[in-house]
């Protein structure tokens, strides 16, 4: 049998998968994992660490001795949020018992793990993608500069015009995907960094999946240093401006997968 690069119990059977991309999050990861455990859900936590020099991965390995539902994928270098999320999707899809839905969120407490049940709830209805929205009624941001808020609002306004998915927040990283929407679009995800947030909404929209948003509060990180560089911001804005409202159609294989899993 081929050796799996994923550390932990890959035979686990859970309803919900959570992807936590990390780079130098040793100050946050233990508490974050413990708070997700406290939700008392049938959940698997997948930490994707980009070889953090602060030994984040070693902290996760210690947690694995206490929790059998924690998986770890260590990548050789810092490779971007987009590829981390895509790799996380592939790990969950490859499990013998894939979860019914997959949550993505930050590991630095910008996203509150207590919001996870509210993200999952709409998935029991007809929705395949739930976005934790800062700009939907009841949502918000905390400790943001005027400049950061302005950039975020402008980016969302442009994206709303280009994609028109009927939501207010296209760039939020806290969200929940049904496994069937992930399986449908996995071969068409090519984002390297933060544009993954827009690309996944775009791919879900063009395939006719139903999208909903629920309000969340985004809090500026308290511990550690932000990983968002100026180059990543510029690449992100460039991606938004390049969007065309005439979306490309899914590949033949993607459409066939959607038909088989709907």
Convert the pLDDT of each residue in 50-86 to its tens digit: 999 999 999 999 999 999 999 999 999 999 999 999 9
The per-residue pLDDT for 259 is 35
> Which residues are within 8 A (CB) of 249 and not within 5 positions of it... i.e. 6 or more apart?
206, 255
Question: DSSP state, 7?
Answer: B
Q: What is the mean pLDDT of residues 218-235?
A: 63
Q: Mean of the per-residue pLDDT values for the chain?
A: 88
The per-residue pLDDT for 237 is 61
The per-residue pLDDT for 219 is 94
pLDDT at 162 over 80: yes
Residues 253, 188: Cα–Cα separation, whole Å: 10
Residue where the block lists tokens 């698997």: 44
Percent of the chain with pLDDT over 70: 83
| Model confidence band, residue 125 (pLDDT cutoffs 50, 70, 90) | confident
* Architecture of the domain whose range is 16-261: Alpha-Beta Complex (3.90)
The per-residue pLDDT for 244 is 62
The β-bridge partners of 130 are 176, 212
pLDDT at 121 over 60: yes
pLDDT tens for 166-193 read 999 999 999 999 999 999 999 999 988 8
- pTM more than 0.85: yes
| Model confidence band, residue 206 (pLDDT cutoffs 50, 70, 90) | very high
Residues 209, 204: Cα–Cα separation, whole Å: 5
| Model confidence band, residue 262 (pLDDT cutoffs 50, 70, 90) | very low
The per-residue pLDDT for 248 is 46
**Per-domain residue ranges for the chain?**
16-261
| Model confidence band, residue 229 (pLDDT cutoffs 50, 70, 90) | low
The per-residue pLDDT for 238 is 66
Strands (E), the chain: 16-22, 43-49, 70-74, 101-104, 129-133, 140-142, 175-178, 211-215, 217-219
Residues 175, 165: Cα–Cα separation, whole Å: 15
User: What does each C-alpha distance from 114 to 57, 101, 122, 245 come to in angstroms?
Assistant: 23, 17, 16, 35
First-to-last C-alpha distance (Å) of the chain: 31
CB distance 243 to 163 below 8 Å: yes
């Amino acid at each position: 049998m081929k050796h799996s690069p994923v550390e932990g119990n890959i035979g686990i059977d859970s309803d919900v998968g959570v992807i936590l991309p990390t780079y130098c999050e040793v100050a946050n990861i233990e508490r974050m994992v413990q708070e997700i455990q406290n939700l008392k859900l049938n959940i698997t936590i997948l930490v994707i660490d980009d070889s953090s020099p602060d030994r984040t991965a070693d902290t996760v390995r210690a947690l694995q001795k206490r929790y059998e539902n924690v998986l770890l994928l260590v990548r050789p270098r810092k490779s971007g949020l987009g590829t981390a999320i895509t790799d996380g999707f592939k790990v969950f899809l490859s499990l013998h018992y894939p979860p019914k839905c997959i949550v993505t969120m930050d590991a630095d407490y910008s996203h509150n793990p207590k919001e996870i049940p509210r993200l999952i709830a709409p998935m029991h209805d007809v929705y395949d993608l739930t976005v934790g929205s800062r700009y939907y009624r009841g949502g918000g941001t905390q400790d943001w500069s005027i400049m950061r808020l302005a950039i975020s609002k402008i980016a969302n306004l442009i994206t709303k015009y280009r994609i028109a998915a009927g939501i207010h927040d296209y760039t939020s990283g806290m969200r929940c995907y049904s496994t069937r929407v992930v399986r449908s679009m996995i071969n068409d995800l090519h984002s390297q960094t933060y544009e993954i947030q827009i690309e996944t909404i775009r791919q879900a929209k063009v395939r006719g999946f139903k999208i909903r948003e629920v309000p969340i509060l985004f809090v500026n990180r308290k511990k550690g240093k932000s990983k968002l560089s100026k180059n990543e911001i510029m690449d992100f804005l460039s991606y938004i401006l390049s969007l065309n409202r005439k979306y490309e159609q899914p590949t033949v294989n993607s459409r066939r997968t959607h038909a088989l899993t709907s």
